[in-house]
Amino acid sequence: MTGMQTIAERLATNVERVIVGKNREVMLTLIGLLCQGHILIEDVPGVGKTMLAKTLSRSLGCTFSRIQFTPDMLPSDVTGVSVFNQKEREFEFRPGPIMAQVVLADEINRATPKTQSALLEAMEERQVTVDGTTYHLERPFLVMATQNPIEYEGTFPLPEAQLDRFMVRIRLGYPASADEVSILEAQQYQHPIEQIEQVVTLEELLAAQQEVRNIYADKQIIRYIVDLVSATRTHEDVYLGASPRGSLALHRAAQARAAIAGRDHILPDDVKELAEVTLAHRIIVGPAARIKDVNSEAIVSDILRRVPVPGAALGTQRN
């Protein structure tokens, strides 16, 4: 078992003590973490979105901050503000909740676009600029945002620039009956998160994030990724396709999946498995297609059927 596999297994086992029966969703979260990407969790209330972020933070021993987004929130409530210190006779910066390693942006679509835009610089450049001064964020830096897909009153759709900065979008969904029984039994006396301890050091995580970049991708695999993303821009049901940032996200996520599986190279199956979670939220469906109830996930599935897959033996060894 490789070092990457060991780290992923320790984290997954720890997180699944709280998030029961969601192996794939937990693994997608770890892929986003190892790729230094951000994660958007879109689902109905009460399925464990907030618990997933808290459990991951405790498993890493990272500083954690929760931002509850509301319509009256200001950008300075996120980034921080400079306040005049009368005793020192000078301005001093009071950091906002974005200054943490794992940031939970809860119900992000309840804030106005102006406030949502306060996250753009932090998510892309790992820094915050307030009153002309730039403050660098501590590594690792991960934004996990949640939004409710069915509660539209008092919400604001996330702008395209914001959605594009999330590496993956996942949905937890309701637990199976047997898993829900386990959840009830586990929480009879106290919540399992109270027993969650750090299982991976920050040094191990940073080394793993760097190791992901060493996973080999054959030129045909890279061409396959580009062809998939290009197809989102020309599909007849698409108004706006995925950006080059989407290509990078799919490439990096495939590297992480390969590393977790103990391989030093990407297979076409890695790309196919991660295409929907990395590309669907970047696609804007055309008006005519929306009338027909066509969604972005269906478009990605259609593209996967249309675009030829590289040879089955590809990636089994480096050329």
CA dist., res. 48 & res. 12, Å (int): 15
Residues 227 and 153 in one domain: no
101 located within any domain:
yes
Residues 223 and 203 in one domain: no
Is this structure's pTM higher than 0.95? Answer: no
Among 222, 244, 219, residue whose Cα is nearest residue 233: 244
CA dist., res. 51 & res. 78, Å (int): 21
191 located within any domain:
no
Residues 174 and 225 in one domain: no
Number of domains in the chain: 2
CA dist., res. 246 & res. 291, Å (int): 26
Residues 22 and 166 in one domain: yes
CA dist., res. 195 & res. 208, Å (int): 25
pLDDT in tens, the chain (319 residues): 467 888 999 999 999 999 988 999 999 999 999 999 999 998 888 888 888 989 999 999 889 999 999 888 889 899 988 887 777 778 888 898 999 999 999 988 888 888 888 888 999 999 998 888 898 999 899 999 998 775 566 677 788 888 899 999 999 888 899 988 998 988 888 888 988 899 999 999 999 999 999 999 999 999 999 999 999 999 999 998 999 999 999 999 999 999 999 999 999 999 999 999 999 999 999 888 888 888 999 999 999 999 999 875 454 445 4
The last residue of one of the domains, among 156, 174, 208, is: 208
- For position 160, what pLDDT does the model report? 84
* 188: Cα within 13 Å, side-chain hemisphere: 4
- For position 154, what pLDDT does the model report? 66
Residues 176 and 64 in one domain: yes
CA dist., res. 174 & res. 47, Å (int): 6
Residues 53 and 175 in one domain: yes
CB 241 within 8 A of CB 298: no
Provide the β-strand partners of residue 168: 39
CATH classification of the domain holding 269: 1.10.8.80
CB 167 within 8 A of CB 32: yes
In the three-class reduction of DSSP (H, G, I as helix; E, B as strand; rest coil), residue 292 is classed as: coil
Domain that holds residue 236: 214-306
CATH classification of the domain holding 203: 3.40.50.300
189 located within any domain:
no
Residues 146 and 295 in one domain: no
